[in-house]
């Protein structure tokens, strides 16, 4: 079972940037679709971005144009570059496979707080 460790979160002002990292315990070559999710207090976890091994990407409308997902399979790492951050981006961010049926393990996530 894949395990994921998220890092890179922190406190940033509106308009600022952060880059999140997701380290996987298993080969990412075997996980075609990787994804970032986030969960704000009192809200459901939502899909933020996905990326396939072939480099195809998709984003939630709320982050499109501001966030960029990427992956380095050799490093077993997935990234989320977040620019032009807004307070509404405040949440705990998680990475996992984008295939729901394979989401057996969730990491601790990394907290992103956008506030002045």
Q: Are 71 and 79 in contact (CB under 8 A)?
A: yes
Averaged pLDDT score across all residues of the chain: 97
Q: In what order do the strands lie in the sheet with 18-24?
A: 4-7, 18-24, 77-82, 67-72
Give the confidence band of 1 by pLDDT, cuts at 50, 70, 90.
confident
> Residue 2 has what pLDDT?
86
Query: How large is the average pLDDT for residues 18-47?
Result: 96
> Residue 60 has what pLDDT?
98
- The answer on pLDDT for 104 being more than 90 is no
The tokens of 9 are what? 């979160």
End-to-end CA distance of the chain: 39
């Amino acid at each position: 079972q894949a395990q994921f460790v998220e890092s890179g979160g922190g406190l940033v002002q509106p308009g600022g940037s952060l880059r999140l990292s997701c380290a996987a315990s298993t080969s990412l070559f075997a996980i075609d679709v990787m994804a970032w999710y986030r969960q704000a207090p009192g809200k459901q976890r939502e899909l933020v971005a996905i990326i396939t091994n072939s480099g195809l990407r998709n984003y939630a409308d709320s982050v499109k144009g501001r966030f960029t997902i990427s992956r380095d399979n050799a490093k077993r790492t997935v990234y989320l570059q977040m620019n032009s951050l807004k307070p509404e981006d405040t949440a705990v961010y998680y990475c996992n496979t984008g295939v729901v049926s394979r989401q057996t393990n969730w990491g601790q996530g990394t907290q992103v707080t956008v506030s002045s």
